[in-house]
């Protein structure tokens, strides 16, 4: 096979690649646009599932279409004379690459709505107590029982998170910095500690 015979195959391969890039990167750019992000963000979970099913259906239909075209073609050269066949095949193969973008946009909107609801509705005292218990469990799993640290909810309105145990200010500040978002979402105003290493407090 000479170079002259390879040129048509190279051109058709480039068409397939162009179709894939158009349906993947092109569609992803559209999905991340402000208008489409808002549209995708309004989907329920079944809307996302429906999109997955549509893409899967197009993929299956595309494969069936390609196989039928190959069986129906009297000669392989017949397919090589149809550039749009290769472009469409690339476009179908590029569609699955839009799934991560759609999922990310949908999940980000869900997370943003959750954070917004938390800001609008302050956490209850019981929710803060549950948070303190869970935080105490995580700390003990991390540092072990050799350094017992108790986590409590104090203050008249229950918005003070108190740590009691072997933990100094520097360690406490690092802990608050790492969990500031979660602590703030529970409507805590400050974190304080009074133990063997002195008394300190950090505003959330």
pLDDT tens sequence across 143-156: 766 677 888 888 87
Q: Are residues 91 and 134 in the same domain?
A: no
Residue at which a domain ends, from 120, 140, 172: 120
Per-residue tokens: 183 = 């602590």
What value does the mean pLDDT of the chain take? Answer: 77
pLDDT tens sequence across 15-33: 677 777 777 777 778 888 8
Per-residue tokens: 125 = 């005292």
Residue at which a domain ends, from 120, 140, 161: 120
Residue at which a domain ends, from 97, 120, 143: 120
Q: Are residues 137 and 102 in the same domain?
A: no
Q: Are residues 58 and 113 in the same domain?
A: yes
Q: What is the pTM of this model?
A: 0.46
Q: Are residues 184 and 85 in the same domain?
A: no
What confidence category does residue 172 fall into, taking pLDDT thresholds of 50, 70 and 90?
confident
Instruction: Tell me how far apart the alpha carbons of residues 55 and 101 are, in angstroms, rounded to a whole number.
Output: 13
Judged against a pLDDT cut of 70, whether residue 173 lies above it is answered with: yes
Residue 55 is inside which H or E element, if any? helix 45-72
How many domains does the chain contain in total?
2
Could you tell me which of 119, 199, 122, 124 has the C-alpha nearest to residue 162? Answer: 199
Q: Are residues 142 and 105 in the same domain?
A: no
What confidence category does residue 118 fall into, taking pLDDT thresholds of 50, 70 and 90?
low
Other CB atoms within a 10 A radius of the CB of residue 28 amount to 19
Q: Are residues 139 and 113 in the same domain?
A: no
Q: Are residues 65 and 141 in the same domain?
A: no
pLDDT given for residue 50 in this prediction: 92
Task: Count Cα atoms within 13 angstroms, Cβ side, for 111.
Answer: 6
Q: Are residues 9 and 74 in the same domain?
A: yes
Q: Are residues 107 and 8 in the same domain?
A: yes
Q: Are residues 90 and 158 in the same domain?
A: no
Q: Are residues 138 and 191 in the same domain?
A: yes
What domain range is 193 assigned to?
125-203
Q: Are residues 116 and 129 in the same domain?
A: no
Higher pLDDT, 26 or 128: 128
What confidence category does residue 4 fall into, taking pLDDT thresholds of 50, 70 and 90?
very low
């Amino acid at each position: 096979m000479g170079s002259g015979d390879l040129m048509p195959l190279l051109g058709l391969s480039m068409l397939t690649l162009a179709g894939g890039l158009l349906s993947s990167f092109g569609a992803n750019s559209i999905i991340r646009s402000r208008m489409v992000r808002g549209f995708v963000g309004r989907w329920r979970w079944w809307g996302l599932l429906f999109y997955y099913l549509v893409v899967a259906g197009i993929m299956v239909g595309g494969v069936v279409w390609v196989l039928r075209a190959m069986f129906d073609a009297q000669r392989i050269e017949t397919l090589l004379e149809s550039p749009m066949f290769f472009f469409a095949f690339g476009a179908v193969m590029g569609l699955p690459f839009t799934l991560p973008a759609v999922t990310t946009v949908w999940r980000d909107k869900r997370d943003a709505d959750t954070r917004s609801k938390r800001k609008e509705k302050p956490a209850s005292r019981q929710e803060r107590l549950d948070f303190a218990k869970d935080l105490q469990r995580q700390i003990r799993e991390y540092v072990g029982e050799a350094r017992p640290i108790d986590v409590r909810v104090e203050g008249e309105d229950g918005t003070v998170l108190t740590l009691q145990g072997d933990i100094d200010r520097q360690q406490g500040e690092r802990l608050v910095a790492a969990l500031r978002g979660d602590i703030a979402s529970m409507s805590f105003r400050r974190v304080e500690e009074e133990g063997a290493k002195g008394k300190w407090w950090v505003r959330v």
